[in-house]
Amino acid sequence: MSNTYRNRQFTIQTLFVLSALLLIYKALEVQVLDDSFRAKADATTIGKYVEYPSRGLIYDRNGKLLVYNDLTYDLMATYNQINPDMDTSKFCALLDISEDYFEKALDKNWRSLRYSKSVPFIFLSKIPASSFNRFQESLYEFPGFTPIMRNSRGYPHENAAHVLGYIREVNQREVKNEDKDYALGDYIGASGLEKAYEDSLKGQKGLRLILKDNMGREVDEVDGENAIPPTSGKDLKATIDLDLQAYAESLMQNKIGSIVAIEPKTGEILTMLSTPSYNPNQLKISKERGKAYIELDTNPNKPFLDRSIMAQYPPGSLFKPFVALIAMQEGLLNPNRTIRCQGAYYLGGERLTGCHAHPTCFDVATGIQHSCNAYFVTIFRDIIDQTASPIEGLNKFNTYLDRFGMNKRLGLDFPNEKAGNYPSSEYYNDWFNRQQEGQKWKSLWIRSLAIGQGELLTTNLQLANMAAILANRGYYKTPHLVSGTIERDGTIQKFDKFQKTIDVGIDAIHFPPIIDGMERVVTAGTARGAYTPSISICGKTGTAENNQRDGKDHSIFFAFAPKDDPQIAIAVYIENGGWGGTYAAPIASLVIEKYINGNVQPGRKYLEDRMKKANLLIEKP
Amino acid sequence: MSRRNPSGLSGIDLIAFSFFLSLVGVGWLMVYTVSYQEGIDIGDFLSTLAGKQTIWIGISAFAFGFIVLIDSSFWQTLAFPIYIGSLLLLAGVLVLGVKISGATSWYRFGSFTFQPSEIAKFATCLALASYLSSYNTNLKELKSQAVAFVLFLVPIGLVLLQPDAGSALVFLSFLIALYREGMSVNFYIVSIYSTTLLIMGLVANPLYIGVGLLLLSVIIMSMNLDKRLYWLMGAMVTAVAVLYMIRETEDTYLLEILGAGAGVFLIYAIVLLNRRKGRVVQLLILAMVVGMSFAYASNYVFNNILKPHQQNRINAWLRPELCDRASLYNIIQSKMAIGSGGWDGKGFLKGTMTKLNYVPEQSTDFIFCTVGEEQGFVGSFAIIVLFLLFLIRLTIIAERQRSNFARIYAYGVAGIIFVHFLINIGMTMGLMPVIGIPLPFISKGGSSLLGFTIMIAVLLKLDSARNRA
């Protein structure tokens, strides 16, 4: 009987083989051909969390902390993990939000591609660390909500708001930029050093891969090739001196203007301020920030305007030393030349440029000491008229100005630097041609340039840099606010671009008479209010005519000190401050004294008080 | 020819034996990786899954050795007492057993549990082999057929009372042995036809099934006509037309279409009857009536009698697109785990989904997920091929037996292992419905391992003694 059906074994074996083939095909499909199972498995088991790097800190030149990271939290919600029976009122109370907000924040348009019920979205942002800590204790009661730590900024002081700048949330354009890895909700430097050094400060985001079990609990870190630890941003060593900055700001309260102080040998900016200013903590990431921003933005005194680099003023008499230097370098001025002045620059008996009463200037130093207009108009015309064509003369003159850093951005490591201006010969060709067709202009017509008026415009930074040029007797280094990044071992990685010496093309031999004159400006000239017996300060006052507002002149002063081994070059510009000697010179000398001696002599306290108390703000109607 | 009665391992078929050992070894590794936790204290080992499995492997080895030592004629002689004993155990478990996940299928001794249905498979196999090999049995006769069916239908009934549908289904694997022993092919055709229609009836509108049957019949009839090519073409055109109408109508005219199909059928039937091929027409009409009633019946049962969770199980297998995630949870997780292994897997002990409780029953019924996740397609392929080679080897052993008892028993064992293998692995990949039966030798579980070991041991012992005079 058995052999009758022997062939049936083959049917049975075929059944076995076909079944095995079916299983193998199915395994091939599930494991190899269709990778959706694999992708789904990864999506189910591996949670991806962006890890935010800490933003780099900023220290001042003495290692004092200028900017630190203040933690805020964003609360992310994953809709399909939220327990519908959660205690909403407790939740809202802990976070200090209304139930209304809760409902609305969770009511997203789930049909839209922007949202998915399984992808976390920002439920509430900018929760300060103080209230978050309270909430965190109960976090376990609210599945579906995960916090993300964000680095907001905080300041242990109230100074240098313009220099430090602030951060803001990125905008759509920045998110779309493929070169950068910004995501919605990230912060980016909006102004000041935060903006200039964004790339160093921001660091590199990391990606944490977390293995979750079937209940969504975190089990383990996955350290595959895709998990990247975040890289912290680099800490910056700023060049400013916080104490000096704070002192200078206190002197400048209730005044409109700017102070820039530079260490001449290095180009490092010791102090850079613009008033009116604000407390940098006002623009911290918080719920109140928007209101604070609008208030500052609409303030008529324009606290957001950085007057040290964005405001352009005529340099006034501060320009005179440079006119003299150019004349001497061109061989057109013997430093002992006497130029008489009868209270004005006269030509052909006609009083052309007014001057004030002062003793006769027997040399260029005295000319600077008394800031004699006639003296400098005379030598300026010599420069312009050294050849037959004033065009050639002016071009030559401007070549020097160019080297002094005028009419161009100095290359400060900072956004929004303005270039200032000097008028070119083409400009005058056009301008006078428009007055009268074919008219040739003469040096006499542009003589106001000699005393720093007319079309000349400089920023206060440029003035401070020019003071540094005088202090260095003929060179400068590009002024900068950050000397380098602080590496992990504490060493400072300096930036090469700021190490280069830029020569201005005036021989050192020409500087002593000018500097002597500037010293006498302080000891016995227009800036006697800046005199302090302990330090030899060389300065120059300026009073720039002003046709704006109530028309009161701008008070200007620049200086360096000490005379023989200059440690600081400074420019002070006070809008509507009147004479250069009235406010700008005393304030500059106080800052110099504070920087060099560490404090101000008791005998000068009255001056300090007087400066602090002076109020030059526009009266609010 | 005189050969001494072999005892010990000599004479054991080494090919089958090594397949068997490989499967048990792979199984232990898979159970170990499921229970593997980093930094576990070695003192705790015996209380882990892998530790318990090790103990069971020891017990099974002991059983294997014991079976090899005792005389091979023992089994045929005692087949029926063993069978009766296993039925008593099955009946007893309903009273004395403990309930685990809804089924009273287990005896408990201390921390070990034992499932009598594992022994019942073996015992039924012995009993069936013993009965079919007796001289009085002839599978052409209704009486013999009836007895053979009763032999495995009784344990099916007892197992269904537990209730354990999965194990009950396994007893149907004896149909393979019956086929080899001469059970009519018609029986299998009718069975497959009915089963197919039952399954189709679960998920499809019976009217559609009716249209399908009519179309099939029309094509079969036209092939029995002269000039069959033309008729066949006509039938095809009709079929295409009807299919097109179904697609267009969205149920509205389904009865009309059915009527039209019946009309065409009638025309063909009349032409065919004139050609005196009445038997074809009769058979087709019978098949259609039976098929339609099956489809209607199962459809009715599915929609009106089955409870929602039972419907869900069937839907999860046949119509996953209708199911919510909860009903599909097991199968989705299982497929994800297997799929996540990719081509060559995550590596031994590196599977994450199977370790983090994503997969249900991961050490027992869904152990194949661990193979798939950690060893990838390469591993899945290897396991499937290993099983296939083992099964083929069992049929080869079966065919070389002189004794009918040994041959039938071998086919019985092969059938049992085959059904377990196909349903278990198929289930983890969504090919088969989720029926809780273990993967032989690999799944964790003492009674399963012991039961299968005994089956194989007896088979190898019978085989080693096959040349005895």
Amino acid at site A502:
I
Task: Say whether residue A42 is in contact with chain B using an 8 A CB cutoff.
Answer: yes
A31 → closest Cβ in B182, B372, B430: B372
The whole-angstrom separation of Cα B63 and Cα B78 is 17
Count of positions (residues) in chain A = 621
Q: What is the mean pLDDT of chain A?
A: 88
Closest by alpha carbon to B468, among B14, B72, B12, B13? B72
Beta pairing partners, A558: A540, A571
- In this complex, do A8 and B372 lie within 8 Å of one another by their Cβ atoms? no
**What confidence category does residue B342 fall into, taking pLDDT thresholds of 50, 70 and 90?**
confident
The Cα of A162 is separated from the nearest Cα of chain B by a number of Å equal to: 53
Query: B411 with B360, same domain?
Result: yes
pLDDT of A119 higher than 80? no
Query: B26 with B80, same domain?
Result: yes
B339 → closest Cβ in A1, A5, A37: A37
Task: Say whether residue B376 is in contact with chain A using an 8 A CB cutoff.
Answer: yes
At A353, is the secondary structure helix, strand, or coil?
A: strand
B271 within some domain: yes
The whole-angstrom separation of Cα A247 and Cα A614 is 15
pLDDT of A267 higher than 50? yes
pLDDT of residue B1: 38
Query: B24 with B126, same domain?
Result: yes
B278 within some domain: yes
pLDDT of B463 higher than 70? yes
Query: B253 with B368, same domain?
Result: no
Query: B56 with B103, same domain?
Result: yes
E strand spans, A249-396: 257-263, 268-275, 344-347, 350-354
At A402, is the secondary structure helix, strand, or coil?
A: helix
CB within 8 A of A560, min separation 6: which ones? A264, A467, A468, A470, A471, A537, A538, A539, A566, A568, A569, A570
- In this complex, do B426 and A23 lie within 8 Å of one another by their Cβ atoms? yes
What is the mean predicted confidence (pLDDT) over B442-462? 92
The percentage of residues in chain A with a pLDDT greater than 90, rounded to a whole number, is 51
- In this complex, do B342 and A38 lie within 8 Å of one another by their Cβ atoms? yes
* Assembly ipTM: 0.90
Give the largest Cα separation in chain A, rounded: 150
Query: B57 with B165, same domain?
Result: yes
The Cα of B450 is separated from the nearest Cα of chain A by a number of Å equal to: 24
Which of B179, B188, B336, B404 to mutate: most A Cβ within 10 Å?
A: B336
The residue behind tokens 């037309």 is: B241
Query: B134 with B57, same domain?
Result: yes
At A568, is the secondary structure helix, strand, or coil?
A: strand
pLDDT of residue A317: 92
pLDDT of A114 higher than 70? no
Tokens of B13: 């078929």
Closest by alpha carbon to A612, among A303, A250, A276, A301? A250
What is the mean predicted confidence (pLDDT) over B307-331? 76
Q: Cα-flanking dihedrals φ and ψ of residue B73, to 5°?
A: -75, -15
Query: B446 with B340, same domain?
Result: yes
At B280, is the secondary structure helix, strand, or coil?
A: helix
- Tell which wins on pLDDT, A403 or B361: A403
Tokens of B189: 């055709």
Task: Say whether residue A219 is in contact with chain B using an 8 A CB cutoff.
Answer: yes
Beta pairing partners, A56: none
Q: Which residues of A touch B172 (CB under 8 A)?
A: none
pLDDT of A417 higher than 90? yes
Tokens of B227: 């000039």
What is the mean predicted confidence (pLDDT) over A247-270? 95
Tokens of A416: 């929004």
CB within 8 A of A436, min separation 6: which ones? none
DSSP string, B225-238: SSSHHHHHHHHHHH
Q: Cα-flanking dihedrals φ and ψ of residue B438, to 5°?
A: -80, 165
Query: B453 with B335, same domain?
Result: yes
Reported pTM: 0.64
Q: Which domain holds residue B154?
A: 14-183+331-464
What is the mean predicted confidence (pLDDT) over B375-385? 95
Q: How far out from the chain centre does Cα A96 lie?
A: 36
The Cα of A106 is separated from the nearest Cα of chain B by a number of Å equal to: 23
The whole-angstrom separation of Cα A62 and Cα A54 is 22
Q: Write the pLDDT tens digit of every residue in B157-178.
A: 999 998 888 889 999 999 999 9
Q: What number of H helices and E strands is found in chain A? A: 20, 21
| Residue B448 vs residues A176, B74, B451: alpha-carbon distances, Å | 60, 23, 5
What is the mean predicted confidence (pLDDT) over A247-265? 95
Task: Say whether residue B175 is in contact with chain A using an 8 A CB cutoff.
Answer: no
Q: Which residues 415-454 in chain B show a CB within 8 A of chain A?
A: 418, 421-422, 425-426, 429-431
Tokens of B344: 């060559």
The Cα of B184 is separated from the nearest Cα of chain A by a number of Å equal to: 11
Tokens of A324: 């003299």
What is the mean predicted confidence (pLDDT) over A158-173? 91
Beta pairing partners, A262: A269, A569
The residue behind tokens 């091939």 is: A28
Query: B55 with B144, same domain?
Result: yes
Question: Which chain A residue's Cα is nearest to B180?
Answer: A8
On whether the CB atoms of residues A593 and A535 are closer than 8 A, the answer is yes
| Residue A95 vs residues A129, A405, A523, B204, B417: alpha-carbon distances, Å | 11, 55, 64, 54, 61
Q: Write the pLDDT tens digit of every residue in B228-242.
A: 788 888 888 888 887
At A245, is the secondary structure helix, strand, or coil?
A: helix
**What confidence category does residue A581 fall into, taking pLDDT thresholds of 50, 70 and 90?**
confident
Burial B116-155 (b: 16+ CB within 10 A, else e): bbbbbbbbbbbbbbbbbbeeebebeeeebbeebbebbbbb
**What confidence category does residue A109 fall into, taking pLDDT thresholds of 50, 70 and 90?**
confident
**How many independent structural domains does chain B possess?**
2
- In this complex, do A1 and B404 lie within 8 Å of one another by their Cβ atoms? yes
The residue from B270, B305, B340 where one domain ends is B305
| Residue B338 vs residues A26, A586, B319: alpha-carbon distances, Å | 11, 82, 21
Task: Say whether residue A213 is in contact with chain B using an 8 A CB cutoff.
Answer: yes
CB within 8 A of A172, min separation 6: which ones? none
DSSP string, B137-182: --TTSHHHHHHHHHHHHHHHHHHHHTT-HHHHHHGGGHHHHHHHTT
- In this complex, do A5 and B180 lie within 8 Å of one another by their Cβ atoms? yes
Question: Which chain A residue's Cα is nearest to B368?
Answer: A27
Burial A565-600 (b: 16+ CB within 10 A, else e): ebbbbbbbbbbbbebbbbbbbbbbbbbbbbbeeeeb
**What confidence category does residue B37 fall into, taking pLDDT thresholds of 50, 70 and 90?**
low
Q: Cα-flanking dihedrals φ and ψ of residue B221, to 5°?
A: -65, -45
8-state DSSP, A458: B
Question: Which chain B residue's Cα is nearest to A42?
Answer: B340
Question: Which chain B residue's Cα is nearest to A4?
Answer: B182
Closest by alpha carbon to A198, among A189, A211, A207? A189
Query: B455 with B388, same domain?
Result: yes
Termini Cα distance of chain B: 8
Query: B439 with B292, same domain?
Result: no
On whether the CB atoms of residues B15 and B397 are closer than 8 A, the answer is no
Amino acid at site B319:
R
Element (H, E) at A154: strand A145-154
pLDDT of residue B251: 62
Task: Say whether residue B379 is in contact with chain A using an 8 A CB cutoff.
Answer: no
Q: Which residues of B touch A11 (CB under 8 A)?
A: 179
The whole-angstrom separation of Cα A6 and Cα A35 is 44
